[in-house]
Structure 1
Amino acid sequence: MRATRGGCRRPLPGRDLARRGPRRARDGMGARDVRSLVAMELSTGLSARVTHAYNGVTRVSDGTLDSGGSLMQRRDVLRLSALAGAAGVLTLDPMTFTQADAAGPADDHEQTKTLSGHLPTGAPDFVYVPVEVPRGVREIAVSYTYDKPTVPAGTQGNACDIGIFDERGTELGGRGFRGWSGGARTEFAISAEEATPGYLAGPVKAGTWHVVLGPYTVAPQGLDYTVTVTLRYGAPGTPRTPVYPPQRARGRGRAWYRGDSHLHTVHSDGKRTPAELVAAARAAGLDFITTTEHNTTSAHAAFEGLWGDDLLILTGEEITTRNGHVVALGTDPGIFIDWRYRARDNRFGQFARKVRQAGGLVIPAHPHGTCVGCNWKFGFNEADAVEVWNADFTPDDEVTISEWDNTLVAASRGQGRWLPAVGHSDAHREPQVVGLPQTVVLADDLSRTALQEGIRAGRSWIAESSKIDLTFEAVGGRGQHAGIGERLKVGGAEVVTVRLKVSGVGPGCSVRFITDQGQLYGTAVPDSGTLTAEWRTTASYAAYVRAEVRHAPADGGASGVPGPMAAMTNPIWLGEH
């Protein structure tokens, strides 16, 4: 879930000395502005070391940069990249592995180069280390480290992510993406036949690859890093044909289906394997899940043999930007959606459209999350739904639900459209519970298309577990009927009966009916955990009605703050329009 900002460096072709001068590349900065900024950053003194290892021979080169302007003109080895739309990007001169270096007495040999340096605070969001890959490479392996100095309380320390793009380039939204592990791994490898989770197997073709560092946060002392690249030569293996999950389960038909569409495995920063995740989903009574790793699609082909007609597995991605995360739910298998932009870059609409072009839904995740970069800053104009409940119910979910309810009020007045609410576990590891919460969707079939139609229409409710079941409906005086996410078309004065049936809730729970005027009805659930509640209203009095089932508040209700959510519905709309 993290990203980074910084500057790096590389060895000059044909020389042992590598020189580095980190800079911030900003939109609209000219060369003179960049030189001035670099000179300021170099005033602290920045050093770099490059180590070359081949056939048992090791050479170490050191270089030190000072703040002299003339030094920058003579020894500047950095290239600034105008990567369209990125909030801050720096591309270094390449780490060169020449064809001559690759020559050896046997096919199976390797060559290693190591780059070390220092990133100051205020470094770019993404720092690219070009790697010139010659012909004959069967595997590329990368490792990195960075320091984590002690920082004062309340100050962010160092956090640096890593990923890689292949010879097709680093263009925003381009085809060169080959993997991302964020801060979850310190090393990875890619070959034709296999790759580290988070990375995409495939041929290692000759050309300029780019290791990308993402300094998410940088301590006041700066960030010292080391990147090591090893090329292993030899005959390439045989690429595997990916096997993706089917998009429809057989023989299910129209029903309410339970699912969790925000989940992580070892393919990003989770600890569960795909098999362990699937086992947990079945144990939770789920009918469908969506794999949503941070900024990678490598898990899409990792579920072979794990699906069945009892469990549909959809593919997707958690697009993890510096300004919030968004679930791409149900995108076509193998389709990567870029994340390298901020809200100020005005790029999100472009990639939201790419999600839809790939058959997915756009669902902002944990909009009021408190972790760095988790709070949603892109607005909701491009959203298909919103994740109002993420994992165990917490105060930030309460804030999100309150904000979401305000959008319902606005929609009831013709001021914009309403967004359906969903809930997901965002489970990464034990003891985080898969299916807490889960979204229960009315769909014509257990298929990607039908589930997405149900979610988009708001025909869904959220529960903390599969033990809870409910029905929620509104009935007009002439027998008209509407369910969750639907509109009951009645006149303003016609009496409407709102009915909730709920079972499987714990002791001490209560039911609340919420309208555009706030809570207008509430009652306790008996100790049996089963309740049928009815309330009468009119469309002129309530533009919509939605239901909540709440646990008892920890303070017994003294503060007036409701207890944690056990279940909640999307609204039923009342009135002709």
Structure 2
Amino acid sequence: MCDDDAGIGRRTLFVTGAAAALTLSSVSFASAADRQQTRTVRGTLPPGSPDFVYLPVEVPSGVGELRVAYTYDRPAVPAGTAGNALDIGIFDERGTELGGRGFRGWSGGARTEFFLRADDATPGYLPGPVRSGTWHIALGPYTVAPQGLTYEITITLTYGEPGTAVEPVYPPDRAKGRGRDWYRGDCHLHSWYSDGRRTPAEIGALARAAGLDFVNSSEHNTHSAHAHWADVAGDDLLVMLGEEVTTRNGHVVAIGTDPGTFVDWRYRARDNRYGRFARQIRKAGGLVVPAHPHATCIGCNWKFGFGEADAIEVWNGPWTPDDEMALADWDSMLVASVRGEGREAGRDWIPAMGSSDAHRAPDAVGHPQTVVLADDLTREAIQEGIRAGRSYVAESAAVSLSLTASGGRGAHAGVGERLEVGRDTPVTVRLEVSGAPRCVVRFVTDQGVLHTSAPLPVAGSGAVEWRTTPSYAAYVRAELRHEAALGPLPGPMAAFTNPVFLGAR
């Protein structure tokens, strides 16, 4: 074993194409005199460290397995002050270039050690040969205490013949489906391939129990789970592949990218790199969906703007005040859209969706879920329905909605559609509900809440109608709320729809 000091004084500052990062002195190994060699590196990062710190490791030829373990101190800090949190990942000899080919895995703060071999790797990491060259252990000092962050990294190389690489098998792009119908899905889920505690098989079983038709793999900053969902998919469950791109200025879920697509996350809003990777998601066949835009965790609040968004995750997990804020912001965007503001050519509004962001028990898969009108249960059809806003969000499969607007000479439209009638044409808006006992229906327009129903019966089914004109309401969307606990405040959400637009464009 050899001990090295990689303190902050032994460093090089460089730019990866986005945020500045710190490179430490490299760790070298002698040629293989022993079957196994280990090096230990210690150092301290001060408050204000760059987002990423790279430790170069010179890997000689003949290595069959690379293993890394790390620890860091967690000193007591004053109330309201962030303590130490250190993420970790690795890039191979192909380098750390932003969006490059060198990425080999990321576990954030979920694991204290990992390994890579040709035939296997720790969840979160990509199996493959351990080729000779300069590898980089990537450290992400998420937060650093006022006392600094002292770390220890142990690298172990095991020499020998590499195992046989396994060709990845991915889930199919389609399931059996029911033709054009409403399909239920959860597009933001975490397994043990990032910081979740469930296997893909366990998530699949929970998804089926929750009445879901589709899910999306969305691990933090890694696509390593893509090759582990094929056995979970089936005629009754479509599994799409993606990633939760977890930057320091917000998270974005890539929904339904091509298998094996990796999306880099090493940038902030000020680096002007987000648009490049949003376009990469779409080029790989995916949707760009900013997640939990008002979440309160450090780095979770969305700061990139919504110009690249295909949809917005307005509802994330159990309904909380930050979801209420996201809903209000999204509604303000709808108001701006009917004034023709803020959207690029070809798109005049951004649909809403919801997902569970489930990580472990007791997180409920499918709470909430996005219910999409799609031509079939295929990746392309589900994405097209989400993109078009032909969807609503419900707390469970027990809740079903049907929102329609009708007027003029038999014209009618549903969620995500436009009722093309004159400005003063009487319009009837109707919401049919099942599975929502004692819930209240609210019709929301560009003027705000214009109609609130009496509570639905205990049986949970009913229909509510309201009449308006396009000159009075440019759009109508519906909310289904549980009974309020505090006076005039609305109760928790049971379901809400995307809007129906009223009148000619």
3-state SS of the aligned residue for 2:466? strand
| 1:411 partnered with 2:337 | yes
Amino acid at match of 1:562: P
Deviations 1:73-121 (A, max 9, x none): xxxx4233221112x301112100132xx134xxxx2100000111110
**Do residues 229 (structure 1) and 161 (structure 2) align?**
no
1:172-215: CA deviations, max 9, x gaps? 00000000000000000000000000000011111111001100
Partner in structure 1 of residue 30 of structure 2: 98
Residue by residue over 1:455-498, the C-alpha shift from the partner in whole angstroms, topping out at 9 and shown as x without a partner, is 00000000000001111100112100101000000000111111
Please state if 1:293 is matched with 2:219: yes
1:60 corresponds in structure 2 to none
CA distance in structure 1 between the partners assigned to 2:407 and 2:33 by the alignment: 82
Matched, 1:429 2:355: no
Give the 5 Å matches for 1:223-372: 223-372=149-298
Instruction: Return the match for 2:476 from 545, 551, 569.
Output: 545
1:251 Cα deviation after fit: 4.9
Give the AA of the match of 2:11: L
User: Which of 446, 452, 468 in structure 2 is aligned with 1:522?
Assistant: 452
Distance 1:245 1:236 in 2: 27
Query: Equivalents in 2 of 1:178, 1:130: separation in Å?
Result: 14
The equivalences for 1:157-176 within 5 A come to 157-176=83-102
What SS does the aligned partner of 1:80 have? strand
**Residue identity in the other structure for 2:158:** R
CA contact (8 A) 2:398 2:435 kept: yes
Partner of 1:498: 429
- Structure 2 unaligned spans of 5+: 343-347
SS state of the match for residue 314, structure 2? strand
- The answer to whether the 8 A contact 2:119-2:163 is kept is yes
CA–CA separation in structure 1 for the residues paired with 2:42 and 2:7: 12
**1:520 is aligned with what amino acid?**
L
* Aligned twin of 2:462: 531
Alpha-carbon contact 2:197-2:360 (below 8 Å) kept = yes
Q: Distance in 2 between matches of 1:514 and 1:139?
A: 59
* Residues 263-307 of structure 1 deviation map (CA, whole Å, 9 limit, x = unaligned): 000000001111110000000000000010000001111123211
TM-score (norm 1): 0.85
What amino acid is aligned across from residue 522 of structure 1 in structure 2?
T
Larger radius of gyration, structure 1 or 2? 1
Q: Percent of aligned positions with the same letter in both sequences?
A: 65
Q: CA deviation at 1:19?
A: 5.0
CA contact (8 A) 1:474 1:572 kept: yes
Q: 2:172–2:230: 8 Å Cα contact kept in structure 1?
A: no
**Which residue number in structure 2 is paired with residue 576 of structure 1?**
504
CA distance in 1 between counterparts of 2:54 and 2:357 reads: 30
RMSD of equivalent CA atoms? 1.2
Structure 1 moving runs of 4+ over 3 Å: 16-21
Structure 1 residue ranges without an equivalent (≥5): 1-10, 23-37, 39-76
Q: Write the distance in 2 (CA, Å) between the matches of 1:299 and 1:526.
A: 44
What is residue 439 of structure 2 aligned with on the other side?
A: 509
**What is the CA–CA distance in structure 2 between the aligned matches of 1:268 and 1:562, rounded to whole Å?**
36
CA distance in 1, matches of 2:238, 2:483: 35
Cα displacement string for residues 535-557 of structure 1 (whole angstroms, at most 9, x for unaligned residues):
111000100000000001122xx
Would the aligned equivalents of 1:98 and 1:132 in 2 still touch at CA under 8 Å? Answer: no
Name the structure 2 match of 1:439.
Answer: 370
> For residue 493 of structure 2, what is the aligned residue in structure 1?
565
* 1:44-123 alignment runs, 5 A limit: 77-86=10-19, 88-99=20-31, 102-104=32-34, 109-123=35-49
Does residue 1:212 correspond to 2:138, yes or no?
yes
Quote the offset at 1:21 in angstroms.
Answer: 4.6
Counterpart of 2:59, as a letter, is V
Distance in 2 between residues matched to 1:461 and 1:516, nearest whole Å: 18
Query: What is the alpha-carbon distance in structure 2 between the residues aligned to residue 423 and residue 80 of structure 1?
Result: 41
Question: Does the 8 Å contact 1:422/1:439 carry over to 2?
Answer: yes
- Structure 1 residues 172 and 479, CA gap change in structure 2 (3 angstroms): same
Whether the 8 Å CA contact 2:281–2:287 is kept in 1: the answer is yes
Tell me the residue number matched to 1:25. none
